[in-house]
């Protein structure tokens, strides 16, 4: 099986009905489609609301753009001093070497930048300028390879990037953001792992997954190979209507990460990307879901619920508050059952 990239291939793979072909064609004119064999296998064709299909199979709702949506929802371009670099926070930069992904998520926050019509791959000259920027800015402690999905690059290209980072002393941490261990688990082989470690720096890999069914045996094995090789793993998920906006699904997702030796890191409130309003829930709904994780699952399984402030102002924690100042140095603090207690307790 090959990656599905066109509406005709979606039809052939029975991922859409003939009635939905025109709809898929209209979406395909605007946004990239890619469904890897591992993901196509995972989709339950008998379930019209399958949470895996909803993430990857195009839908006509993507053509409805609401007034608050924007092409660069988290303001990458506002903080891009040179092509391929986003320098939003003092001690870290994004290095966007490639704008290609092994799958295209229908809710993608960079959907205007990724895919065949997107920003492509950095030229050697642009890459030189990006590395020069990192080398000149001694405050950069961490380089985050994202894009696109950096793990679509060949091990040789990744190794070259890592060797160039190895030459920059002040960079101590290299982090990759990727979906590859889930959507193309076979790609995680000894050669790729060696490339990820080629800088000799501490390497983290943040895995993007949104539903517990994505953590298949193959995906878990791929992650196991990475962790066994000394690469620390974190998770990032997006809270999405119709996919994981359910306490039980979220709990199973976070447990699946921890069972796979992946520390839950970020749970993103969906960004205001064009044509994604059908995935968004309210912040109150998100907070209630996050509150439901407290007490239900171990502290190891608690992600940080965050919102990227539109316009490029960075991430803000939007978890529900558990403590209220009641005056005179006293507080009301709620436990995981929602019961309130005075702090300090009355004598
Ligand atoms: S893998 Fe990331 S960058 Fe690529 S389409 Fe999905 S959300 Fe967007």
Residues in Cβ contact with 182 at an 8 Å cutoff, skipping those fewer than 6 apart: 38, 207, 208, 209, 214, 215, 216, 219, 222
- What is the pLDDT, as a whole number, of residue 117? 81
The whole-number pLDDT of residue 28 equals: 97
Which atom of ligand 1 is nearest the CA belonging to 147? 3
Is the overall model pTM greater than 0.85, yes or no? yes
The predicted-structure confidence for 186-213, as pLDDT tens digits, reads as follows 999 999 999 999 999 999 999 999 999 9
What confidence score (pLDDT) does residue 259 get?
Answer: 98
Pocket of ligand 1 from Cβ distances under 6 Å: 101, 104-105, 108, 110, 114, 148-149, 179, 208
Closest ligand 1 atom number to CA of residue 178: 1
Q: What is the pLDDT of residue 116?
A: 85
Predicted confidence at residue 36, as pLDDT, reads 98
Q: What are phi and psi of 317, to 5 degrees?
A: -75, 130
- State the Cα–Cα distance between residues 79 and 231, nearest whole angstrom: 29
CA of 95 to the centre of ligand 1 (A): 15
Those residues of the chain that have pLDDT short of 70 are none
Distances (CA, A) of 122 to 126, 128, 131, 133, 200: 6, 10, 12, 14, 24
CA distances to 87, 329, 334 from 347, rounded to whole Å, are 51, 14, 19
Q: Whose CA is nearest to atom 7 of ligand 1?
A: 108
Helix (H) or strand (E) holding 265: strand 262-268
């Amino acid at each position: 099986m090959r990656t599905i990239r066109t509406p005709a291939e979606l039809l052939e793979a029975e991922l859409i009905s003939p009635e939905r072909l025109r709809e898929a064609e209209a979406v395909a004119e605007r946004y990239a489609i890619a469904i890897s064999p591992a993901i196509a296998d995972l989709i339950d064709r008998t379930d019209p609301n399958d949470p895996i299909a909803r993430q990857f199979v195009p839908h006509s709702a993507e053509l409805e753009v609401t007034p608050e949506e924007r092409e660069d929802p988290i303001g990458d371009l506002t903080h891009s001093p040179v092509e391929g670099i986003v320098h939003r926070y003092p001690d870290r930069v994004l290095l966007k070497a490639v704008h290609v992904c092994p799958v295209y998520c229908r809710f993608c926050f960079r959907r205007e930048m990724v895919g065949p019509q997107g920003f492509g791959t950095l030229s050697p000259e642009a890459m030189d300028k990006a590395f020069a920027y990192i080398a000149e800015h001694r405050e950069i402690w961490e380089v985050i390879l994202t894009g696109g999905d950096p793990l679509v690059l060949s091990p040789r290209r990744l190794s070259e990037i890592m060797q160039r980072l190895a030459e920059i002393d002040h960079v101590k941490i290299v982090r990759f953001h990727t979906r590859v261990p889930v959507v193309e688990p076979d790609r995680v082989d000894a050669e790729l792992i060696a490339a990820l470690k080629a800088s000799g720096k501490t390497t983290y890999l943040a895995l993007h997954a949104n539903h517990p069914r994505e953590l298949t045996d193959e995906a878990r094995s791929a992650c196991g190979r990475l962790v066994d090789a000394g690469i620390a793993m974190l998770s990032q998920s997006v809270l999405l209507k119709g996919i994981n906006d359910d306490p039980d699904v979220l709990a199973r997702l976070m447990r699946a990460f921890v069972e796979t030796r992946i520390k839950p890191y970020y749970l993103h409130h969906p960004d205001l990307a064009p044509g994604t309003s059908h995935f968004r829930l309210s912040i109150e709904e998100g907070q209630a879901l996050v509150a439901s994780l407290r007490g239900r699952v171990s502290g190891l399984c608690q992600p940080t619920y965050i919102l990227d402030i539109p316009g490029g102002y960075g991430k803000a924690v939007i978890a529900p508050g558990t403590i209220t100042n009641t005056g005179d140095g006293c507080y009301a603090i709620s436990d995981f059952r929602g019961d309130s207690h005075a702090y300090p307790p009355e004598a």
